[in-house]
Amino acid sequence: MFVSRTTVGWEALAPAKLNLYLDVLGRRADGFHELEMLMCPVRLFDQLRWTSNDRAEIHFTEGESTERFRFSVAGTDVPSDETNLAMKAAHLLAAEAGVEPYGSLSLTKRIPTQAGMGGGSSDAAATLQLLNQAWGVNYSKQRLTGLAAQLGSDVPFFFAGGPAVCRGRGEILQPQSGLPKLHFVVVKPDESISTKEAFMQLNAGQFDPQKSEGREKPLERLLELLRNGMLTAAAKAMSNSFQSVILASQPILASLQAQMTALNSWGATMTGSGSAFFGLCGTAQQARHLAGKLRAVLEDGSRAGAKHEFGEGHYLRGKTPRTHGTVWTTSTCY
């Protein structure tokens, strides 16, 4: 997260994330799933802006809500009401700190929804950090991370400040140092998948704490490959428990993954519970080259090479009988 003061308030850039590794170990007695993941933030950002208002003026609307705090969203398929995670984060911080929310918070969405890229979770984490400053709460990073865990399993990750191994339901973090800057091509098909739907399809079963005993440790191997700069082998070591079941039930996504793999010998991996896929590349130039190949497959010529406002994205949209989606290049931000 990148939080800074402006002449009229505060702003934050909330990064997307990619799952370089995701293993669902099983279903726990409390209903959550036991996870083991390697996640990294990448340069595709939502933007949040907060500006103050006159705290002396209180305008009440119908019921108990107050217009001292206003929330707005620019973007498609994103709610601007109490169901938005950023709004939930604002009210959670206010309740914990004993302050009344005030000011105007605006969210500009760039991270695609239902893509497995953590946009909502990142927005919530950025809101906590942004309003912690704006409202003068001044909670520590550790305390904010504790609040983040109440909002969602992925939210604490965005306080790690870089790549992290995430365990438990995602809230137990091990920040990882020594990883190189990584370059990716990401494709978000028009098809979307909810996390709930993905877990239902996975049907992981009851969590067994003995499951991991004596088995190979592919995550440790992946980390070793990345730290040693062995990116071709690292790309082939990336995996996602959701991928096989999602591809089996979504022929269009299977087609997309096959096209990406055919164009990139390093392969293509799904992030989170989908539906976005990414391909690891050795350099930014290689990523741009692969994006160009994907453009030839997907592009209908209507939006080639549109510049992304906050990231490195070159958006390319295509319409073919098999699949269509949005493609961009990005890199890790740590």
Strands of 136-193 (E only): list them.
164-168, 172-175, 183-189
DSSP state of 215: S
Dist CA 139 CA 148 (whole Å): 12
**Is 146 a known ligand-binding residue?**
no
Clarify whether 154 is annotated catalytic: yes
Q: Is 63 left (phi over 0), alpha (psi -120 to 50) or beta?
A: left
Catalytic residue among 88, 109, 154, 188: 154
Which residue is catalytic, options 17, 88, 109, 188? 17
Instruction: List Cβ neighbours of 148 (8 Å cut-off, separation of 6 or more).
Output: 89, 124, 125, 128, 155, 156, 158, 159
How many Cα atoms are found within 13 Å in the side-chain-facing hemisphere of 284?
A: 8
| Residues 134/50, Cβ–Cβ less than 8 Å | yes
Any known ligand binding at 168? no
Is 261 within any annotated ligand binding site? no
Q: Is 142 within any annotated ligand binding site?
A: no
What element of type H or E holds 18? strand 9-27
- Is 117 labeled as ligand-binding? yes
122 is in an annotated binding site: yes
119-134 and 85-97 are packed helices; what angle lies between their axes, rounded to 10 degrees?
A: 30
119 assigned to a ligand binding site: yes
Tokens of 257: 């993954």
Annotated ligand binding at 120? The verdict is: yes
Q: Residue 2: what residue type?
A: F
116 is in an annotated binding site: yes
331 labelled binding-site residue:
no
Annotated binding site: 112-122
Q: Which residues are catalytic?
A: 17, 154
Annotated binding site for ATP: 112-122
